[in-house]
Structure 1
Amino acid sequence: MRTSRLAVLVLGTMTLAGAASIDRASADPYDYPWCAQGPSLGYPGECAYQTYDQCLASVSGRFLACGENPRVLFREQLEPEQPRPHRHRHRHHRQ
């Protein structure tokens, strides 16, 4: 009995350690423009579709719909603006 408790404890610890090491980038390797959306998927949904037709084929027969990925739509607004490099304009004089 004690051995089985120890095994469950070790297995649980390993599972938690593995889950904690997953970052957002590796959990969501794709960020395509179309998402399958529904109550079971959360927001913004499963964003793994390059085209609307691909998304429609995937959600067919499921209690899901297709919507645009807000991370793709608003990517430019979410990314911090990079300072533009300063350029010197040189005037060339004819001699």
Structure 2
Amino acid sequence: MSSIPAETVQDSFCLQGRVWGYPGNCQFSSYAQCMATASGTDAYCGINPQYAFARPQQGAYRHR
């Protein structure tokens, strides 16, 4: 199993704020894409908590 960089996962970043709640609108694959949507509003962008607080899969990391 290969690891996929967060920037390529469709729902890596969430548009958050009063209107969006928590975790918010998590349809963004990049921080820049999320910030472009948030521009001009009182919203902000954050890492999708599903990925930010996920435990690494066992065996995914091999120490050499």
Q: Same fold (TM over 0.5)?
A: yes
TM-score (norm 1): 0.45
Aligned residues: percent identity?
40
TM-score (norm 2): 0.64
Q: Which runs of 5+ in 2 are unaligned?
A: 1-9, 59-64
Moved over 4 A (4+): none
Note the aligned Cα RMSD (angstroms): 1.8
Bigger strand share: 2
The 8 Å contact of residues 35 and 45 in structure 1, kept in 2 or not, is answered as: yes
The structure, 1 or 2, with the larger RCO (C-alpha pairs under 8 Å, 6+ apart) is 2
Q: Which structure has the greater CA radius of gyration?
A: 1
Q: Which runs of 5+ in 1 are unaligned?
A: 1-30, 82-95
